[in-house]
Amino acid sequence: MADYEPVLLRNVGVENSHTLEVYRAQGGYQALAKALKMTPDEVQEEVRDATLRGRGGAGFPAGVKWSFLPKDRTHTYLCVNGDESEPPTFSNRVVMEKDPHQLIEGIIISGYATQAQAAYVYLRIEFHEPFHILQKAIDEAYAAGLLGKNILDSGYSLDCYIHRGAGAYVCGEETGLIESIEGKRGYPRIKPPFPAVEGLFRRPTVVNNVETLCNVPHIIERGADWFKSIGSEGNFGPKLFCVCGPVNRPGCYEGPMTITLGDLIYDNKYGQGMRDGKEVKAVFPGGISMGVVTTDELDMVMDFTDPAEYGLLGIGTAAAVVIDNSIDIRTVLRNVARFFALESCGQCTQCREGTSWMYKIATRIEQGAGRIEDLDLLIETTGNLGMMPGLSICGLSDGAVFPIRTIVQKFRAEFEEHIRNQEPGCVEAALAVAN
Amino acid sequence: MVWQAIDRNEAVIDPEAPAVLSAAVRKKIESFLPRYETRLAALLPALHVVQDELGYLSHQAMKEIAEILELHPSQVLDTLSFYTHFWTHPKGRKVITVCRSICCETLGGNKLLEAIKAKLGIDEHETTPDGEYSLVTEECLALCDYGPCMLINEKVHKCVKPEDVGRILDDPNNDVVDMPRSDLFDGPHEAGK
């Protein structure tokens, strides 16, 4: 692998990298000056040419998303998705703590390209340090004339506010996020209309992920062709990867989307292998909602297309959690099922009921009272949830379907062995209590 | 959080009860209004400020927030009951939030939680009799590179082992955040207006 020069994380490790002074000394805010000399359409075009795909999970091209805004609009809002609730993702946190001005520069350029009046950064409430650091950075930017009225004498004005959530995974879904900013329950909306047409306060709205916006200043500064020189067709640009679990060096790393999952775990530049002599049993390579891969599938490329070959929903947040072979697969299933059962917002019946029933079944299996037919029942249930059969408003239940389906399918032999070794009569006893 | 059934036969709030929101809190809530197109949108920041000030959101506080934002009190309850962060009954001075996501659990998060329960003698969603600690769990705190992890109020505790629990909980400064912080929701945001 050729040497990779970090882009998004280049200031991590620099002393006081969160301050405006240091960010400027490292060449920051030059892209903004350049962008403000271009027309908004030219900025949009540059980002579209770079084919910057959204880093939040769905991978929708950001420039195309911007172009859906109606031409005759009077108001535009930019919402920045910093909810980052997908276990085990923490790349946005690292960026906001270490390089908040990179994000702010991305917000201002993207706001200019879409002619937004205000940007709302939605942060989950558990982000206390990132909130204080980012708020200080925003205050610095206001004081330096980079936010507020007439930014750098360009005539363009933008206000930037942090809006803190209050503990709800579903508020990371773009319309749930919008509802939450409006002061309501974070119920995702039925689409269409999409936010670009009718979003925050029923105005045209763009919702972009933190990492997506951090890419924008670099595209403007170095051009779309530079961006396309990193990665592969359809997977251009720098990407943040997280790796955690019992690896030697858990953390957030940057690389091209040509690395494999095995690289992320074992390579010296990334996870540096397993610690304490542990062995990989399973990996959730893109946040838990994308599904699981086994130790035979570590050659999976961390890009937008390859995960589908392994039965996964996608690359998601590119955050890999490694499960070692000392962990009972039944515990993994129960933990994942609980997450979605608790975080389902409850609007769509089959998501609310389905995730809860899968959690109950998974709990019973973990407690040693599973049945072979429970495994088939779980698989059948996963076929009856989500946007794929067209049954739900948002993608949360698809996020529940893929991990549970892939865990049961790929580790079926282990489940069956546990079930065969259960004490006789325990299933009947458990079901009698449940009834 | 769980829905609380309200007895409709009796008034939830004493109409004669004195106001619980101070003038400073009211002023702060009103300072959010220019940020948004609707008054309703200032509700989440308002709830955060009131909970920070009073510790929890009583029905009286909900009613007063509703008055400031020109909402019906039930709208306030409707929104806040969706979010796990808000408390509708008193909590301890410090809230311990233990992560139980897949990464932290497989790295020993359960043992950490059990150690805290044993040390404090309380279960999840309970408060110690002296009102010092409340204990909750949360799905993924986005600190997976430091699992198992927990928060004590705003302070992050990284890579906590069960044997560290006694030392951490006996430290009176275990919730002190060692960084310069901006005043919550303050700052010169109105500069651009």
Element (H, E) at B150: strand B150-152
Which domains, from first to last, does chain A contain?
Answer: 20-228 (3.40.50.11540), 233-324 (3.10.20.600), 329-434 (1.20.1440.230)
Residue type, B35: R
DSSP state of A313: S
Q: Is B182 within 8 Å of A181 when comparing Cβ atoms? A: no
What dihedral angle (degrees, nearest 10) is formed by the CA atoms of A32, A33, A38, A44? 0
Q: Which stretch, A125-139, A196-210, B173-187, has highest mean pLDDT?
A: A196-210
Region A159-176: what's the mean pLDDT?
95
Model pLDDT, residue B185: 47
| Positive or negative torsion for Cα A277, A282, A283, A284 | negative
pTM exceeds 0.90, yes or no: yes
Question: What is the DSSP annotation of A351-376?
Answer: HHHHHHHHHHHHHHHHTT---HHHHH
**Residue B193 to residue B182: CA distance in whole angstroms:** 20
Question: What is the DSSP annotation of A193-256?
Answer: SPTTTS-GGGS-EEEEEHHHHHHHHHHHHH-HHHHHTSEETTEESEEEEEEESSBSS-EEEEEE
Model pLDDT, residue A202: 95
Q: Is B144 within 8 Å of A87 when comparing Cβ atoms? A: yes
Question: Greatest CA separation found in chain A?
Answer: 78
Region A199-217: what's the mean pLDDT?
96
Q: Which residues are B134's β-sheet partners?
A: B95, B127
Q: What is the pLDDT along chain B (193 residues), one digit of tens a residue?
A: 567 776 667 767 888 899 999 999 999 999 999 999 999 999 999 999 999 899 999 999 999 999 999 999 999 999 999 999 999 999 999 999 999 999 999 999 999 999 999 999 999 999 999 999 999 999 999 999 998 999 999 999 999 999 999 999 999 999 988 765 545 444 333 333 3
Is domain B94-170 classified as CATH 3.40.30.10?
Answer: yes
* Average pLDDT score, chain A: 94
- The packing angle between helices B73-80 and B43-54, to 10°, is 80
Q: Is B142 within 8 Å of A92 when comparing Cβ atoms? A: yes
Q: What is the helix, strand, coil percentage profile of chain A, to 5?
A: 45, 15, 40
**Residue A228 to residue A231: CA distance in whole angstroms:** 7
Domain B23-82 and domain B94-170, same fold? Reply is: no
Query: Residue A204: is the preceding peptide bond cis (ω within 30°)?
Result: no
Which among A37, A30, A47 has a CA at the least distance from the CA of A155? A37
The model's pLDDT over A290-312, given as tens digits with 9 standing for 90+, comes to 999 999 999 999 999 999 999 99
Class of the domain covering B23-82: mainly alpha
Q: Is B43 within 8 Å of A183 when comparing Cβ atoms? A: yes
**Residue A70 to residue A61: CA distance in whole angstroms:** 17
Complex prediction ipTM:
0.93
Residue type, A22: V
Q: A12-26, A388-402, B41-55, B91-105: lowest mean pLDDT where? A: A388-402
The model's pLDDT over B147-162, given as tens digits with 9 standing for 90+, comes to 899 999 999 999 999 9
Element (H, E) at B155: strand B155-157
Put simply, the chain A residues between 46 and 75 with a CB less than 8 A from any chain B CB are none
Region A312-320: what's the mean pLDDT?
94
**Residue A303 to residue A255: CA distance in whole angstroms:** 11
Select from B101, B137, B143 the residue whose CB has the most chain A CBs within 10 Å, as the one to mutate to test that interface: B101
Question: What is the DSSP annotation of B128-147?
Answer: -TTS-EEEEEES--S-GGG-
Phi-psi region of B7 (alpha: psi -120 to 50; beta: other; left: phi over 0): beta
Model pLDDT, residue B152: 95
Which among A56, A1, A47 has a CA at the least distance from the CA of A286? A56
Region A41-59: what's the mean pLDDT?
93
Chain B contact present for A16, CB below 8 A: no
Where does A74-179 show beta strands of DSSP type E? Answer: 77-82, 118-123, 159-164
Predicted confidence (pLDDT) at residue A358 exceeds the cutoff of 70: yes
Half-sphere exposure of A371 (CA within 13 A, CB side): 14
Report the first-to-last Cα separation within chain B, whole angstroms.
Answer: 38
Select from B102, B110, B157, B185 the residue whose CB has the most chain A CBs within 10 Å, as the one to mutate to test that interface: B102
| Token digits of residue A222 | 């170095």
Model pLDDT, residue A2: 59
Residue of chain B whose alpha carbon sits nearest to that of A88: B144
Alpha-helix residue ranges (DSSP H) falling in B20-124: 23-32, 43-54, 59-69, 73-80, 102-104, 110-120
Residue-range domain boundaries for chain B? 23-82, 94-170
| Token digits of residue B81 | 């009951």
Q: Cβ distance A77 to A206 under 8 Å?
A: yes
